[in-house]
Structure formats: C-alpha cells, structure tokens
Amino acid sequence: MIQPDGSIQANWKGQFFIDKSRDIEFQIVTCRLKGFIDPQQIYNDDNGENKSKLFFLSKGSYSILETNEDTMKVRNLMGNAYIRGWIDKDYAVTGELIITSDEKHFYLYTFQSWAEKNYRTYSN
C-alpha cells in the first residue's frame, strides 16, 4: 500500500516449493514490511531512463512454516525480509524479495504484482 506521504506497507502471503519433487512445502505465516519511495533513484534499462517509475525499499520480518512431506517434520523459520523494486504509473510493481535468518545466507525471489492505492477523500 502506498501512502500519500510516500511511505509504503507490504504483506507477503502464500505457499511455495523450492525443489522439483515438491517434498518440502513453505507456508508464509506472516511477512509485514514498511518502507519508503525514493524519488532520487531513476529507472534505467536497455531503452534508457524512465522517470515515470518510482523506486521503493522496505524492511520487515517473516515467519514461515517449512514442512518436509517425507519426514512430516515442521520447522518455524523466522528472520528479516527486504523488498526493493519499481512502481510504474499504473501501480504495476516489479522487484525482488530477499529473506534471511542470519544476515549471512539469504534467498532472493523476483516478483511482479500490483500496488494498492490508499486514497483519502477530503471535503471542505
């Protein structure tokens, strides 16, 4: 969610597998992040600069249940999460999610999504 002051809030939810055999399931219990828009960053790719995209950065914490289907063991994984990326004028978002439990090892996921606009109506 993008606030009028440029701050952002994000939630990550879902279920995923990292192995082809799908033996280990990861269920995101909670992942809440807060951050900000940085208008000084300019998007640049093979087509050149695109000043209509806004860069954002956020940090938070996560809790994930890891279930091994073969052994039926369940572990609760916790740590820090970071999201960085770009929001375009239609609120389409592309970016990277980074999770780490010890600041030495991490997983990086790329994603595409949509940002939610937070409109407030003012009247005189």
Is it the case that residue 117 has pLDDT exceeding 70?
Answer: no
Within a domain: 31 = yes
* Inside any domain, residue 2: no
- Residue 99 has a CB neighbour count (10 Å cut-off) of 22
Does the residue 89 lie in any domain? yes
Is 40 domain-assigned? yes
| 120 lies in some domain | no
Domain of residue 21: give its range: 7-114
- Amino acid 118: pLDDT: 61
Residue among 106, 104, 108, 63 nearest 85 (CA): 108
pLDDT: is 121 or 116 the higher one? 116
**What pTM did the predictor assign?**
0.78
What's the CA gap between 25 and 75, in Å, rounded?
11
Please check whether residue 8 is in contact with residue 93, taking contact to mean a CB–CB distance below 8 angstroms.
no
Q: Is pLDDT above 70 for 121?
A: no
pLDDT tens, 80-90?
Answer: 999 999 999 88
Q: What is the average per-residue pLDDT within 33-55?
A: 94
Helix, strand, or coil (residue 102): coil
Q: How many domains does the chain have?
A: 1
Query: Per-residue pLDDT tens for 53-109?
Result: 999 999 999 999 999 989 999 999 999 999 999 999 888 999 999 999 887 889 898
Q: Which amino acid is at 93?
A: V
Q: Residue 124: is it exposed, middle or buried by C-beta count within 10 angstroms (0-12/13-18/19+)?
A: exposed
Q: Rounded to whole angstroms, how far apart are CA atoms 71 and 88?
A: 44
Residue type, 119: Y
**Residue 44 belongs to what H/E stretch?**
strand 43-45
97 domain-assigned: yes
Contact between 105 and 77 under an 8 Å Cβ cutoff? The reply is no
Question: Would 124 be classed as within a structural domain?
Answer: no
